[in-house]
Structure 1
């Protein structure tokens, strides 16, 4: 089992590894819409901007271990304003992936997220053989 912390990755908001890898499976901790270069900066405004930042942070973590979004098999998305933001998220989500190659996904409405975020996303990826 490998525990990965990516030096250029987002500052953790709690005690965790950015990713844990077991037998080629990579479990990426939920990322927040914080800026790794300026972690104390205000969060981006709105669900679209926050989702873009979260996905960029996920790319940084995956890239730090030699993977990309094309290796993602499952995504879990947490929204604090589910009714308001679900449609905008669904319109944006496919733009991050090759057409016809979306990972499986679960989206859940939650009461709150760390750092006051509107969205958090965690991933499961598979390292190619």
Structure 2
């Protein structure tokens, strides 16, 4: 059975779910949108990466998990020069082994204007 996890972090303008759970598996997507204002956060890659990870935490918490439940993270950046700033923020949140498996991809652009990063992730819940 597939269950939609509603958290308020997905853009309301898009026909997407915040997170979807099937059994113990959870699939998530996060952008650097402030859930209260609905606006993309300002402040460069560090601020956007932080907001993305915080949004992942919100969705994981709503499903009964934490960042420790992540097994796979895929990061999409619009500029390879942002990798260092993104990695610095990533290290703030992922400090214990085993780290999630991760892929980082540079893309031409992301759909939302001003967006520098988007993260998709897969978690296994207890």
Same fold per superposition (TM over 0.5):
yes
Three-state SS of the structure 2 residue aligned to 1:98 is coil
> Which residue number in structure 2 is paired with residue 25 of structure 1?
25
Structure 1 vs Structure 2 CA RMSD: 1.6
Unaligned residue ranges in structure 2 (runs of 5+)? none
- Per the normalisation by structure 2, the TM-score is 0.89
> Which residue number in structure 2 is paired with residue 60 of structure 1?
58
Three-state SS of the structure 1 residue aligned to 2:42 is coil
**1:88: how far off?**
1.8
Three-state SS of the structure 1 residue aligned to 2:109 is coil
How many residues are matched? Answer: 125
**1:3: how far off?**
2.8
> Which residue number in structure 2 is paired with residue 122 of structure 1?
120
- Structural mapping, 1:1-129, within 5 Å: 1-28=1-28, 30-39=29-38, 41-82=39-80, 84-116=81-113, 117-128=115-126
Three-state SS of the structure 2 residue aligned to 1:114 is coil
Unaligned residue ranges in structure 1 (runs of 5+)? none
Q: 1:76 to 1:7 in 2, by over 3 A?
A: closer
